[in-house]
Structure 1
Amino acid sequence: MGESDIVPVVLFRLGGLEITTTTLTTMAIVGLLALVTWLLSRRLHLQPGRLQTLAEGAVMAMEDAVRAVAPDHVKLLLPFIASLWIFLVTANLSGLIPGVHSPTRDLSATTALAILVFLSVHWFGIRSQGIRRYLRHYLAPSPILLPFHLLSEITRTVALAVRLFGNIMSLELTAMLVLLVAGFLAPIPILMLHIVEALVQAYIFGMLALIYVAGGLQSQQLRAEAQDKPGCEGQP
């Protein structure tokens, strides 16, 4: 087991920017998904074939998941959450390709995804409620809780990044160790374990992102409705 099996290899540099195997794999996945999306959207029919039916079924399943958590914000959240799920499933499963490691086994990649979720929570909240009303919730129910609100934002972002990184890294290392010990005598169970775990981790990350975003939107909405009711904030 070499260092390249754990640490991403630097392929070349563009100025001060290092292009690693993780960067190259991520760019390839994004390009592949863009191409597949373009091809699927070009040939849509009222009577769909198998491929279109499969794609529509996947979109409907993701839409139902978003509706179950945030029924009032399905159109707003579906593009982001669905894109996140599709990317994560593809990235996690890319480790099954010989010689390719999943980008999500790299802490820098999972950190970037966690930061994206962190920024999206605030973006959707500000877009829905306005910046002043959104920032006001950090002072509720008391300004004394402001440090705890900020600490919560940081810790859940770190946990989101570390959880995905740790699970995918351990999954790939476990599969590698088993294959080194047992050779290729038991490839099918390891393959099935990898597929199931990759799908589960993509689902968990996407659901946590959805819950964080929807929680911010709904808490702001409930607080705004409470303030608009007669008798609130000291009114008779």
Structure 2
Amino acid sequence: MTESPLTVSPLLWVGPVVITEPVLATWAIMAVVTIISLVVSRRLSLAPGRMQTALELLVDTIDQQIRDTMQAEPGPYRSLIGTLFVFVLIANWCALVPGVTPPTARLETDAALALVVLSAAVFHGIRSRGLAGYLASFAEPSWVMIPLNVVEQITRTFSL
């Protein structure tokens, strides 16, 4: 009998919490990104070196993507989108390490990232338009579109 692709074997337990390989890989990625961020950001200067120039190029590229796709100033969105980009990039590169399965290969990680994006979309929508304006946007261009716009909000997030 074959095992379901949705099941993950536990590696260890911390009390009632089950720790699986995708969770462990995610924690390792978060630790690596945090350490690299702390080390790199300690030596920022007005006359950038190679590393700072490369990182500024990455930030500028993310900013331009935000401007092109959202037609908005990138400031409020840069940290979330940049963090998602770096996490997904490093998580996918984990496949190059022998014996490591990238956490993004598991449905749980992708669903969790989609929920973060959905929550951020609702938060930023309410923040920019107010609660009444955000809810009114579901009735555009007509009130008949409300169910379709609600479904679109959810499915668009998970499809991305």
Q: What TM-score, normalized to structure 1? A: 0.62
Report the counterpart of residue 23 of structure 1 in structure 2: 23
Q: In the superposition, relative to structure 1, how do residues 67 and 142 fare at CA in structure 2: closer, same or farther (>3 Å)?
A: closer
Question: TM-score, length-normalised on structure 2?
Answer: 0.88
Structure 2, unpaired ranges of 5+: none
Which has a greater percent of helix? 1
Q: In structure 2, how many angstroms separate the alpha carbons of the residues matched to 1:46 and 1:137?
A: 43
The Cα shift of 1:9 comes to 2.8
Task: Classify 1:101/1:137 alpha carbon distance in 2 versus 1 (closer, same or farther; 3 Å).
Answer: same
Contact 1:8-1:106 at 8 Å conserved across structures = no
**Matched residue, 1:73:** 73
Q: Does 1:62 align with 2:40?
A: no
Q: How does 1:25-174 map to 2 (within 5 A)?
A: 25-160=25-160
Distance 1:62 1:34 in 2: 19
Give the whole-Å Cα distance in 2 for the aligned partners of 1:58 and 1:128.
26
Following superposition, which runs of at least 4 residues in structure 1 exceed 3 angstroms of deviation? 5-8
Q: Is the 8 A contact 2:66 2:72 kept in 1?
A: no
CA distance in 2, matches of 1:42, 1:9: 39
- Any idea what SS the aligned residue of 1:47 has? coil
Larger-gyration structure (1/2): 1
Structure 2 counterpart SS, 1:139:
coil
Structure 1: unaligned runs, 5 residues or longer: 161-236
SS of match in other structure, 2:138: helix
